[in-house]
Structure 1
């Protein structure tokens, strides 16, 4: 019973973390210098007078992922599929914390933030790419694992939908970087919506089942 209670608390904490992260991003986009969410990468929010808030938000996303991992790890018996999914998803979450310490290079003419001219910007870009890939792989694997968890059967379809959204956003993000840089912000946010939405609703399912 105590284990079920802990699982419920971890899931609830992760859900709150997702909501806080999304609210902070939404507010920061409205503050000076008024970032364009369609054109500019989310990392640009960490540059400027309110950048420190976004850096804290990056750290918060890592904590949110940790709570989600703790909740998921307490569902059903341990399997290789779950273990690999958790490791990959965890790498994606940990990368968010690294981003807080390496500022991106904001491409002033286009505002995409995709050009790098400093070591910090290069590290940020590489870590962000690795983080996106790892998080996406993690939720795809964990979605496959969810299919076989009877207590989360109702959650599977929602998880699959958000995993597909994240995958579509990631594909668009890869194409936007070279074909349509003016839409890189939108593509990134679609991918993040998939990842964060997956986290929220999977944890909501775990909370209901607890």
Structure 2
């Protein structure tokens, strides 16, 4: 049985990560229209996992974890290994694992109270969600710095840096909303998610594009092999 070529594996992993981001967003949007009707601006995204269709959001949390791992596997097949890449990949993986854990610990929905934990599951949910966002941000920042030294990803550096800044801004707003009880808690969380998912999408797309181009380039020596006259 033939094994997939490294370049093909990298391309498919990047494509899987992009598909995961797209499906996560679509499912999130669809759930907004299903009862109970939680507010995009005021309610945390985790509230979508509570209610008759909550199981769909729980699957989405698991899917976000798998998407993150696919992106990490693709990133590990690019450029050179370094402390920045190893640290960034580890922290991003922690963020992905935290997302998957959220599926097993439902949040506590207390109308008009923002982020409040009244049960053990709700407390675990808040802790894991906060850890996941912090780890994802730290991983993205380290990997964005690493990208400056990788020829294949340098063209995506500015976009990745912009999305890293958006993630940081969203996290700051999320923290302030949680502490001060802002009515725009849901918006702050979704800004943070926009940064994280957008970063994964942009970087995965860059990996997919150059992997596809390099797959079309024949190995050194093969391009001229057709012109070598056969020996007797």
- Length-normalised TM-score, structure 1: 0.97
Q: Is 1:83 aligned to residue 60 of structure 2?
A: no
Question: How far apart in 1 are the matches of 2:153 and 2:22?
Answer: 22
Q: How does 1:3-82 map to 2 (within 5 A)?
A: 3-82=6-85
Question: How far apart in 1 are the matches of 2:23 and 2:67?
Answer: 10
Segments of structure 2 that go 5 or more residues without pairing to the other structure are 212-232
Question: How far apart in 1 are the matches of 2:162 and 2:80?
Answer: 24
Q: Is 1:145 aligned to residue 146 of structure 2?
A: yes
Question: How far apart in 1 are the matches of 2:110 and 2:14?
Answer: 38
Segments of structure 1 that go 5 or more residues without pairing to the other structure are none
Cα distance change, pair 24–33 in 1 and its aligned pair in 2 (3 A)? same
Structure 1 residue runs of 4 or more that deviate by more than 3 Å after TM superposition: none
Kept in 2, the 8 Å contact 1:11–1:206? The answer is: yes
Q: How does 1:40-189 map to 2 (within 5 A)?
A: 40-108=43-111, 110=112, 112=114, 114-189=115-190
Question: How far apart in 1 are the matches of 2:51 and 2:182?
Answer: 21
Q: How many residues align?
A: 208
Kept in 2, the 8 Å contact 1:95–1:128? The answer is: yes
Q: Cα offset for 1:181? A: 2.5
Kept in 1, the 8 Å contact 2:99–2:129? The answer is: yes
Question: How far apart in 2 are the matches of 1:77 and 1:169?
Answer: 30
Question: How far apart in 1 are the matches of 2:47 and 2:182?
Answer: 14
* 1:94-132 superposed Cα distances (whole Å, 9 cap, x missing partner): 001110000100012x163x1110000000000000000
Secondary structure of 1:34's match? coil
Q: Cα offset for 1:11? A: 0.2
Question: How far apart in 2 are the matches of 1:35 and 1:6?
Answer: 39
Question: How far apart in 1 are the matches of 2:182 and 2:56?
Answer: 26
Q: CA RMSD in A?
A: 1.0
Kept in 1, the 8 Å contact 2:80–2:150? The answer is: no
Question: How far apart in 1 are the matches of 2:148 and 2:192?
Answer: 22
Kept in 2, the 8 Å contact 1:39–1:111? The answer is: no
- Length-normalised TM-score, structure 2: 0.88
